[in-house]
Structure 1
Amino acid sequence: MTTKTVAELLSQDVTLQDVTVKGWVRTFRANRFIALNDGSTINNMQCVVDFENFEETLLKRITTGAAIHVTGELVESQGRGQSVEIVVKSLEVLGDSDPETYPIQPKKHTLEFLRKNAHLRTRTNTFSAVMRLRSSLSFAIHKYFNENGFYYMHTPIVTGSDAEGAGEMFRVTGLDAKNPPLNEDGTVNYKEDFFGKETNLTVSGQLEAETYAMSLGKVYTFGPTFRAENSNTTRHLAEFWMIEPEVAFMDLTGNMDLAEDFMKSVLSYVLETNKEDLEFLDKRLQDIEKHLPQAERSPMNLIDKIKFVVDNNFKRVSYTEAIDILRNCKPNKKKKFNYIIEEWGADLQSEHERFLVEKHFKCPVILFDYPANIKAFYMRLNEDGKTVRAMDILFPGIGEMVGGSQREERLEVLKEKMKALDIPEEELWWYLDLRKYGTAVHSGFGLGFERLVMFATGMGNIRDVIPYPRTPQNAEF
């Protein structure tokens, strides 16, 4: 008999059939009702046991967390909460289960406690829902790019360049930590290292993706990136995943069109495929916010927030116009913002971005043409000499979701910008070659995958949307 998943059985109309299912026990009530879950759905399958037909020693082994194999008859449920249930004919407990030490008991656990038990936390409804949504979003991303003519590119994880100029990178070395080779001035001689130069874990695959876009036309990366930033905020990880498309012959307007269509597509996908998980997470969030002061509650529930992005056209606003709006708005004039906007050139904070989305325009917003001095060296300089062809997409509840730009395709302009920032030409000679040989307008953007998962699940801490978070002083599991 073929083993069925719980999701398959709950979706079937046919009853009075013999079925077999395997999963983990959530609860076992009154020596009669087993709530069984196999990870395929947030819902449990109720398995009804006639205890007179089974040995007491077997029933004692059916504890929370135990893995079991059940065979029985799928029938219409006699109780509330489920449409069908299984009347158990045979039951096998697979392996051992220690009820005294099993940490994920059927009670409310704090998120911090579950992070300490990250290897088992997906056995809770919250984390199983989050990780199914993460998987669906990942599939939707690949699906979108595949259907739109993009080629998937694997960019290097070990790199000799710092694409963002952040300087907060993890060094990769094969040298003896206690006795490394030294130069005459006492510095480490990386020429004797494995790669013959100083190397690090990548912070972005963008620069390499640009090289492939300038031959394949449309490419994207979706891989791990790393930042050695000593930050313990709810939005920072040392290891995270980035989606970075790059497109040849596309200007900033085309880049904004692509990013908007992409975001709407992937979020529409999970609205369709993960309805039950979203409904559960939506209710979870509403239950949490009942206990918060009114001012701290979200302006929209989770599903409405996602639909807010999917159903609205994104408003496109220049940075200069946004600064004027923020400078003259009531929260700024009454000094309600934590960061007061006083003059052009300010780097916008999440509170400013959310005001524009949630209060002023009441739709997702794309800001463009930012001051050059707060953006990266590779962004195309505008004719005014002070702004660049950058764009950020702002979402409700979270602020910036996507950051991108039209890339600087002019060799001399790019050289001047690199010189001003002390970026050696010999370090990025291959990147400059793109501006020598067949240079053309091209654009792209970056999206932190975990930030997208946070938005789609309503989770407030980025450590709860990745299987095993890597943060300062934490590399467990």
Structure 2
Amino acid sequence: MASEEAAVVAKHPIEHLIDQSKYSKRILLKTILGRSDRGLGLVGERIIICGWVKSSKETGGNIPAGAAGRTVTVAEDVTCKEIIGSRIPHFLQSIVRVFVGDRVRPHGKPTEINIPVKNVPTVTYLLLNDGSCISSLQVVVHSSEALISKISPIGTCILAEGVMRQPSVAGKQVIELKVEKILHVGTVDLAKYPLAKRRLPLEILRSYPHLRPKTTVVASVTRIRNALTHGTHTFFQNNGFLHVHMPVITSTDLTDRSNTFQATTLFNKAEKIEDSNVMNDHGAINIEVVRAAIKEKSKRVQELQRSNSDKEALLAALWDLQKTNELALQMEAREKSSPGTSFQVGKVDFSEDFFSRQAYLTASSQLHLECYACALGSVYTFGPTFRAEKSHSSKHLAESWMVEIDMVFADLEDLMNCAEDYLKFLCQQILENCSDDLQLVSKRIDKASIDRLGSITSSSFERITYTKAVELLNEVTDKEFVTKAKWGINLAEEHERYLADEAYKKPVIIYDHPKEVRPFYVRLNDDGTTVATMDIVVPKVGTLIKGSQREERLDMISRRIVECGLKQDQYEWYFDLRRHGSAGSSGFSFGFDHMVMFTAGLHDIRDAIPFPRTSGQLIC
């Protein structure tokens, strides 16, 4: 065996050694199984690996030294009856001889045979995966090294040291690790482990976002997401963009307020006043909040009264409920005596809030990003955005990740060129660096996903105006749309999908939309009815990128603020960009989660993000 291992090493001299991780003693499996020789050059190497059990198989093993049972002397041509006799306990053998006699043949030469009386040792073959790649490493563990029942369940974490060798039996595995020492075992209770069954549907896995990364498909989607992240930074860094962090909390509301998350500490103030039972002029308190608290405290009291187990907790809960009821009575009395005060139901005085004004979780960083573009040239950001829309659509998240850019002295055509190049670059990066993961998701989820990525890299995007798109949709006779396409409204998803999937069968850039359906900060075209905007629509997913050329004219943007019914004082800081060294710019927003969905062929965006947040769902 040693000579065979030496021959293998000689055959792969360049790739024989492997670098150990800088910050860990273990070796990542991708550095073993991702080599061109699939690890053969490592035969004879002693390494430490860590991983989670994907499958296990137990077989009978060779009996090690010292594990044999007692030795029995019998004739050389011993019969089966004599072997059975030799297994009879010694104190019974004399009784047997009385009735049977000594049957050992006189001419037979005595010999010794080993009769094991202990359990036969076993060998367990584990497939371990550490998340660094799709492939798993076969690990061979002898029962003398570990309790097999503890290491074999699916999901068990194992840290082991051993020697790399070629499998003794030819099969799928090219290389395996013969374990010599188990350093750690993270056990699993199979009765309670939700991932014990193999290939659970993605919709079931959504109930376990903290555990689902251990599944093969979700792990592949995560590696694809990582590659898209790396590709994003690579593209913009290579093209002269600076990465800038943008705020999550903002005073600027770019969307309908009913679809924004408010950032406030007013509820904390209400709770403090309940606890202290002090009445003051905190206009931030809403009596409805207090009434809701009374309901919750009443339920708590009823639960304690039914259980009758903790009298001290019951007394404390009753006292708390009494104080809250007193607070409510005081607020109601104050409301009746002074109906114009800030305690009136529904009135909220945000001057008492943390920021002394209304604050929101950002829905877009475009305006803030423009500040840095006007000083640094071309900038981009990558972070979460928030929409409080109560939608259960397969393409909507309350918290989604966006890539947003802004570049000065760039018009709409420049922006379209940048967006197209960026999208093509990402697809090419995934095809080159995630081939194994793409093969898996193509097999398990969508067989056409790889072909779609290839078509984006090899074809030019179709560019049509919004007006032409509406005309084309109205000429369709072989398909009936739920919503009729007409000029002046946002195109529905079914319209965009038709253009990309059926009409052109490739990505489509739709530009120059009506000003009524776009934000105030986009540049008004000379026709006075359309604005310099663009959407990139791709097959299967729909819109991936939305962008525009910004309005640099102060008088025009002031007029658009009024037309959109917005408060001008909220945007004074934004007007300063036009007052002090104005520079025209263009930028876009890129739905990163939608790109993951498109790349992996996923049908639901909740499977594209590590921890999905949607209406009514917040597991961890």
Measured after TM superposition, the shift of residue 224 of structure 1 is 1.0
Q: 1:166 to 1:253 in 2, by over 3 A?
A: farther
- For 2:231 and 2:590, how far apart are their aligned partners in 1? 14
Aligned residue in 1 for 2:161:
71
CA contact (8 A) 1:163 1:206 kept: no
Aligned residue in 1 for 2:582:
439
Aligned residue in 1 for 2:28:
5
Aligned residue in 1 for 2:516:
373
1:116 is paired with a residue whose SS is: coil
Measured after TM superposition, the shift of residue 70 of structure 1 is 2.3
Could you tell which deviates more after superposition, 379-388 or 160-169? 160-169
Pairing partner for 1:348 from 486, 491, 511: 491
2:418 is paired with a residue whose SS is: helix
- For 1:40 and 1:93, how far apart are their aligned partners in 2? 19
Q: 1:432 to 1:445 in 2, by over 3 A?
A: same
CA contact (8 A) 1:157 1:224 kept: yes
Aligned residue in 2 for 1:40:
132
- For 1:374 and 1:168, how far apart are their aligned partners in 2? 17
Pairing partner for 2:404 from 244, 249, 272: 244
- For 2:585 and 2:237, how far apart are their aligned partners in 1? 20
Measured after TM superposition, the shift of residue 376 of structure 1 is 1.3
Measured after TM superposition, the shift of residue 112 of structure 1 is 2.7
CA contact (8 A) 1:35 1:46 kept: yes
Aligned residue in 2 for 1:308:
455
1:331 is paired with a residue whose SS is: coil
- For 2:257 and 2:228, how far apart are their aligned partners in 1? 28
Alpha-carbon displacement from aligned partner over 1:384-409 (angstroms, at most 9, x marks no partner): 11100000001011111100000111
- For 1:212 and 1:171, how far apart are their aligned partners in 2? 25
Measured after TM superposition, the shift of residue 91 of structure 1 is 2.8
CA contact (8 A) 1:217 1:248 kept: yes
Matches within 5 A, 1:209-358: 209-286=369-446, 301-332=448-479, 335=480, 337-341=481-485, 343-358=486-501
Counterpart of 1:327 in structure 2: which amino acid? N
- For 2:52 and 2:489, how far apart are their aligned partners in 1? 53
- For 1:251 and 1:195, how far apart are their aligned partners in 2? 37
Measured after TM superposition, the shift of residue 15 of structure 1 is 3.4
Measured after TM superposition, the shift of residue 90 of structure 1 is 2.7
Aligned residue in 2 for 1:181:
283
Measured after TM superposition, the shift of residue 122 of structure 1 is 0.7
Alpha-carbon displacement from aligned partner over 1:70-109 (angstroms, at most 9, x marks no partner): 2233233444333322233333442332222111114231
Could you tell which deviates more after superposition, 378-387 or 355-364? 355-364
Counterpart of 2:561 in structure 1: which amino acid? M
Aligned residue in 2 for 1:401:
544
Counterpart of 1:25 in structure 2: which amino acid? V
1:30 is paired with a residue whose SS is: strand
User: Is 2:30 aligned against 1:30?
Assistant: no
Counterpart of 1:430 in structure 2: which amino acid? W
TM-score (norm 1): 0.92
- For 2:371 and 2:562, how far apart are their aligned partners in 1? 21
Counterpart of 1:8 in structure 2: which amino acid? T
Aligned residue in 1 for 2:354:
194
Could you tell which deviates more after superposition, 424-433 or 184-193? 184-193
Counterpart of 1:91 in structure 2: which amino acid? I
Counterpart of 1:105 in structure 2: which amino acid? A
Q: 1:165 to 1:473 in 2, by over 3 A?
A: closer
- For 2:590 and 2:235, how far apart are their aligned partners in 1? 14
- For 2:141 and 2:185, how far apart are their aligned partners in 1? 17
CA contact (8 A) 1:165 1:376 kept: no
Aligned residue in 2 for 1:292:
none
- For 1:201 and 1:249, how far apart are their aligned partners in 2? 30
Could you tell which deviates more after superposition, 323-332 or 277-286? 323-332
CA contact (8 A) 1:252 1:443 kept: yes
Pairing partner for 1:416 from 559, 577, 581: 559
Alpha-carbon displacement from aligned partner over 1:301-350 (angstroms, at most 9, x marks no partner): 01001111111111111111111111112335xx2x22232x32232122
- For 2:588 and 2:142, how far apart are their aligned partners in 1? 59
Counterpart of 1:308 in structure 2: which amino acid? S
- For 2:393 and 2:513, how far apart are their aligned partners in 1? 26
Aligned residue in 2 for 1:430:
573
- For 1:301 and 1:23, how far apart are their aligned partners in 2? 32
Counterpart of 1:76 in structure 2: which amino acid? Q
Counterpart of 1:228 in structure 2: which amino acid? A
CA contact (8 A) 1:33 1:49 kept: yes
Counterpart of 1:198 in structure 2: which amino acid? Q
Aligned residue in 1 for 2:68:
none
TM-score (norm 2): 0.71
Aligned residue in 1 for 2:112:
none
Aligned residue in 1 for 2:189:
98
Matches within 5 A, 1:104-143: 104-143=195-234
User: Is 2:152 aligned against 1:62?
Assistant: yes
Counterpart of 2:385 in structure 1: which amino acid? T
2:445 is paired with a residue whose SS is: helix
Aligned residue in 1 for 2:528:
385
User: Is 2:47 aligned against 1:19?
Assistant: yes
Q: 1:6 to 1:391 in 2, by over 3 A?
A: same
Measured after TM superposition, the shift of residue 204 of structure 1 is 0.8
Could you tell which deviates more after superposition, 247-256 or 352-361? 352-361
CA contact (8 A) 2:145 2:180 kept: no
- For 2:165 and 2:510, how far apart are their aligned partners in 1? 56
1:20 is paired with a residue whose SS is: strand
Structure 2 gap segments, 5+ residues each: 1-19, 60-123, 274-281, 285-339
Aligned residue in 2 for 1:205:
365
Counterpart of 1:87 in structure 2: which amino acid? K
> How many aligned residue pairs are there?
458
Counterpart of 1:35 in structure 2: which amino acid? L
Structure 1 gap segments, 5+ residues each: 287-299
Q: 1:219 to 1:164 in 2, by over 3 A?
A: farther
Counterpart of 2:51 in structure 1: which amino acid? G
Measured after TM superposition, the shift of residue 111 of structure 1 is 2.0
Measured after TM superposition, the shift of residue 58 of structure 1 is 4.5
Could you tell which deviates more after superposition, 119-128 or 307-316? 307-316
Counterpart of 2:469 in structure 1: which amino acid? A
Measured after TM superposition, the shift of residue 59 of structure 1 is 4.7
Measured after TM superposition, the shift of residue 238 of structure 1 is 0.9
Alpha-carbon displacement from aligned partner over 1:379-435 (angstroms, at most 9, x marks no partner): 111111110000000101111110000011111111111101111111010111112
Counterpart of 1:37 in structure 2: which amino acid? N
Counterpart of 2:395 in structure 1: which amino acid? R
CA RMSD of aligned residues (A): 1.9
Measured after TM superposition, the shift of residue 165 of structure 1 is 4.5
